[in-house]
A = this chain, B = another copy of it.
């Protein structure tokens, strides 16, 4: 697939890169359109490539030995993903599935050392990404250890609004299809509980739901819910 240079140059990761440098980089890359519901790679398969998300939205999931699924993270445009090999893993630890129609850019894994050597900014950025990833994981562990479901859902939705929100007249729209089940898998609860919580919020005018849709109408109030120190009343 033909690679669109302008899209790439708009990403913070590449905006200050020379044209010839960029060309060298893209030379070995291949672009791919991933329709909604299809996977980029699957848990356990050999890590042959690492990727950059150009467009769309991916969910990275893991399945536990006994068949339960969780969503490890959401990949947003501009994010590097699938660089298992950089962490000395031979295979992908999770499955990357397109939540919305997406476009990825992929490089063969063996190019990674080369990649970072010639592009120190990328090396730094990759490290940063991994560091953030680790922090996010710890944040989630903290939340799951100490907060009740409602607060966790509030946090999760606020993070989504920040990373995948699009302003609309009446609020912030989560800009890709997301189900109650998805939110449950991100917060460690069941779709039933998520549904109840969202219904309650909708009653109070904080959000507006819909089939695979979510609109945050009152982020400030959600923020408050998320931070609220538990108090008896």
Contact B134 A130, beta carbon cutoff 8 Å: yes
Chain B residues with CB under 8 A of A86: 127, 131
Chain B residues with CB under 8 A of A89: 131
- Interface magnitude class on chain A: 20 to 34
Chain B residues with CB under 8 A of A68: 142, 145-146
A88 interface contact, C-beta 8 A: yes
Contact A134 B137, beta carbon cutoff 8 Å: yes
Contact B138 A188, beta carbon cutoff 8 Å: no
A20 interface contact, C-beta 8 A: no
A1 interface contact, C-beta 8 A: no
Contact of A144 among B72, B88, B128, B144 (CB under 8 A): B144
Q: Which residue of B lies closest to A144 (CB)?
A: B144
State whether A87 and B137 are in contact (beta carbons under 8 Å apart), knowing that A145-B144, A146-B70, A188-B144 are contacts in the complex: no
Contact A142 B70, beta carbon cutoff 8 Å: yes
Chain B residues with CB under 8 A of A84: 131
Binary per-residue interface labels of chain A (35-78) against chain B in the complex, 1 for a CB within 8 Å, 0 otherwise: 00000000000000000000000000010111010101000000
Which residues of A come within 8 Å of B, CB atoms? 62, 64-66, 68, 70, 72, 84, 86-89, 93, 124, 127-128, 130-131, 133-135, 137-138, 140-142, 144-146, 185, 188, 227, 229
Besides A68-B146, A134-B137, A146-B188, 4 new A-B residue pairs in contact (Cβ under 8 A), listed by A number: A68-B145, A88-B127, A93-B135, A137-B138
